[in-house]
C-alpha cells in the first residue's frame, strides 16, 4: 500500500492534478484535510489525471467526488483522464449513489437540548405512570375473572413461581437478616451504653427488625432477585414473539404469565418476611448475648416485654403490598420490551430501580401513617 497523493501543476488557464497511490479507506486520513483546504486559483478547467492510482475503493471514489464538487462549485470544469479500468468501474458506481445521499438534519444545540430533554423525560414519566395504571386495571380485571372461574387458575405455574421466588431466596434472605440483627444489636449496645441503658438494645433490635428492617430488606432483595427475573423472562419471550404466539392461540398472557407471578409473590413474601424477622432476632440474640452477657432465656424474656404484637403486624401487613408492587412492575416492564436484546437489559434495570424506589417511598409513607394512627 502506498499513501494516496495528489500533485498540482499549473499552466496559463489550465490546472492539472496528478493523483497517485492507493485511495482506500484506511489511507485517506492524510488526504482529507488537504482536499478540504485545497487552494483554488483562477482558471477555467482542471484536468485530473488518474493514471498512477493503484487502487481505489468506494470511500476513495467518494473523496474524489468531493474534490470535483469543490472545484465545480467555484466554476471550473473538471475532466478525468487516463482512468484505469477497475477505477473507472468504481467511480461510475459511486456517481449515481452520491447524488442520492442527503445531508443529515440540523441538530439542536445548547440550552435548547436541555429543555427538550427535560420535557421529553417528563412526558415519558407521565406516560409511564398512565401505562402502569392501565396495566393495574388489566391485572385486576383478569384476577376477577379467575376468581369467578377458579378452575382457570394455573396452580402448577403458581407453585413453581413460589418455589423460585420464595424457597430459593431463603439462604440469602436469612443471611442478610441475621447480619442486620447482629449489626443493630452491636451499634445499639455501643450507643446505649453511655446512658447505662444497654438493656434497651433488645427493644431496638425487636422494633427495628419487626417493624422495618425485616420487611424492607426482604422486599429489596426480592425486587433484585425476582422482580428482575420476571422482567427478563417475560421480556425474552416478547423478543422471541412468544407472547404474540400465546395471544393467537387464545392464551391470555396476563392470565398465564402475569397472575401466577403476582400471586405467587404476594403469597410468598409474607412467609419470607416472617423468616427474615426470626433470623434478624436470632442475629440480635447472638450479639446481645456477647455484649450484654445475657443468657438466651433472659434475652427471650426481655424480648417478650419489648416487642408487641402490633410491631410484628405492622411489618407483616406491608409484605403483600410490597410483593404486589414488585411483581406488577416486574411483569409490566417485561411486557414493555421491544424486539431487541438491548431493551431486555434496559427494562430489567428499570424494573429493579422503580420497584426499589416505590417500596422505600411507600414504606416511609406507611411509617408516618402508622405513627399518626398510634399503632
Partner 1 sequence: MPAATSQEDIIISLTDIRNQFGSHVLHEALTLDIRKGEVLGIVGGSGTGKSVLLRTIVGLNQKTAGTISILGQDVDRLRLDELNRLRQRMGVLFQDGALFSSLTVSQNIEAVLKEHTRLPISFLKEIAALKISLAGLPADAGGKYPSELSGGMRKRAGLARALALDPDIVFLDEPTAGLDPIGAAQFDQLISDLQTALGLTVVMITHDLDSLHAICNRIGVLLNKRIKVGTIAELTKEPDPWIKEYFDGPRGRAATRSHASQSQKATSSQS
Task: Tell me which residues touch partner 1 (CB under 8 A).
Answer: 24-26, 28-29, 32, 57-59, 62-63, 66, 86, 89-90, 92-94, 97-98, 100-102, 104, 338-343
Rounded Cα–Cα distance for residues 153 and 143 (Å)? 9
Distance from first CA to last CA of the chain, Å, rounded? 83
β partners of residue 52: 20
Q: Least separation, in Å, of the C-beta of 337 and partner 1?
A: 11
Q: Which residues contact 363 (CB under 8 A, 6 or more apart)?
A: 212, 215, 216, 318, 322
Instruction: Tell me the three cell numbers of residue 287.
Output: 450479639
For partner 1, the closer of residues 36 and 305 by Cβ is: 36
* Neighbour tally for 128: CB within 10 Å: 15
Q: Are 57 and 25 in contact (CB under 8 A)?
A: yes
Q: Least separation, in Å, of the C-beta of 62 and partner 1?
A: 5
CA angle 298, 302, 306 (to 5 degrees): 165
For partner 1, the closer of residues 149 and 339 by Cβ is: 339
Q: Least separation, in Å, of the C-beta of 79 and partner 1?
A: 22
For partner 1, the closer of residues 109 and 295 by Cβ is: 109
For partner 1, the closer of residues 81 and 95 by Cβ is: 95
Q: Least separation, in Å, of the C-beta of 191 and partner 1?
A: 49
Q: Least separation, in Å, of the C-beta of 59 and partner 1?
A: 5
Rounded Cα–Cα distance for residues 201 and 307 (Å)? 12
For partner 1, the closer of residues 190 and 241 by Cβ is: 241
Q: Least separation, in Å, of the C-beta of 7 and partner 1?
A: 22
For partner 1, the closer of residues 11 and 85 by Cβ is: 85
Rounded Cα–Cα distance for residues 4 and 56 (Å)? 10
- The helices-and-strands tally (H runs, E runs) of the chain is 15, 4
Kindly state the DSSP code that residue 208 receives in the 8-state scheme.
I
For partner 1, the closer of residues 101 and 156 by Cβ is: 101
Rounded Cα–Cα distance for residues 85 and 299 (Å)? 95
Q: Least separation, in Å, of the C-beta of 26 and partner 1?
A: 5
Kindly state the DSSP code that residue 11 receives in the 8-state scheme.
-
Amino acid at each position: 500500500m502506498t499513501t494516496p497523493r495528489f500533485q498540482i501543476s499549473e499552466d496559463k488557464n489550465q490546472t492539472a492534478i496528478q493523483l497517485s497511490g492507493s485511495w482506500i479507506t484506511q489511507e485517506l486520513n492524510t488526504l482529507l484535510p488537504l482536499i478540504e483546504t485545497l487552494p483554488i486559483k483562477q482558471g477555467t478547467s482542471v484536468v485530473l489525471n488518474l493514471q498512477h492510482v493503484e487502487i481505489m475503493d468506494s470511500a476513495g471514489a467518494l473523496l474524489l467526488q468531493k474534490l470535483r464538487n469543490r472545484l465545480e462549485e467555484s466554476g471550473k470544469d473538471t475532466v478525468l483522464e487516463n482512468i484505469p479500468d477497475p477505477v473507472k468501474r468504481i467511480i461510475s458506481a459511486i456517481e449515481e449513489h452520491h447524488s442520492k445521499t442527503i445531508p443529515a438534519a440540523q441538530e439542536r444545540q445548547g440550552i435548547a437540548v436541555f429543555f427538550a430533554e427535560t420535557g421529553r423525560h417528563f412526558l415519558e414519566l407521565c406516560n409511564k405512570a398512565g401505562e402502569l395504571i392501565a396495566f393495574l386495571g388489566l391485572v385486576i380485571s383478569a384476577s376477577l375473572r379467575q376468581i369467578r372461574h377458579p378452575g382457570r387458575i394455573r396452580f402448577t405455574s403458581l407453585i413453581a413461581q413460589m418455589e423460585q421466588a420464595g424457597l430459593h431466596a431463603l439462604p440469602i434472605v436469612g443471611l442478610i437478616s441475621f447480619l442486620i440483627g447482629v449489626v443493630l444489636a452491636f451499634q445499639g449496645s455501643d450507643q446505649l451504653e453511655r446512658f447505662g441503658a444497654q438493656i434497651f438494645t433488645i427493644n431496638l433490635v425487636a422494633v427495628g427488625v419487626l417493624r422495618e428492617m425485616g420487611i424492607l430488606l426482604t422486599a429489596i432483595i426480592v425486587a433484585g432477585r425476582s422482580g428482575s427475573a420476571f422482567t427478563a423472562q417475560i421480556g425474552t419471550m416478547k423478543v422471541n414473539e412468544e407472547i404474540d404466539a400465546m395471544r393467537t392461540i387464545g392464551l391470555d398472557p396476563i392470565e398465564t404469565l402475569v397472575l401466577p407471578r403476582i400471586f405467587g409473590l404476594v403469597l410468598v413474601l409474607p412467609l419470607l418476611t416472617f423468616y427474615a424477622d426470626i433470623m434478624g432476632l436470632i442475629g440480635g440474640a447472638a450479639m446481645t448475648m456477647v455484649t450484654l452477657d445475657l443468657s438466651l432465656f433472659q434475652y427471650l424474656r426481655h424480648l417478650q416485654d419489648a416487642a408487641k404484637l402490633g410491631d410484628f403486624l405492622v411489618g407483616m401487613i406491608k409484605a403483600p403490598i410490597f410483593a404486589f408492587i414488585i411483581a406488577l412492575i416486574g411483569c409490566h416492564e417485561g411486557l414493555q420490551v421491544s424486539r431487541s436484546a438491548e431493551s431486555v437489559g434496559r427494562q430489567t434495570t428499570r424494573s429493579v430501580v422503580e420497584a426499589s424506589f416505590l417500596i422505600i417511598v411507600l414504606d416511609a409513607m406507611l411509617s408516618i401513617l402508622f405513627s399518626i394512627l398510634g399503632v
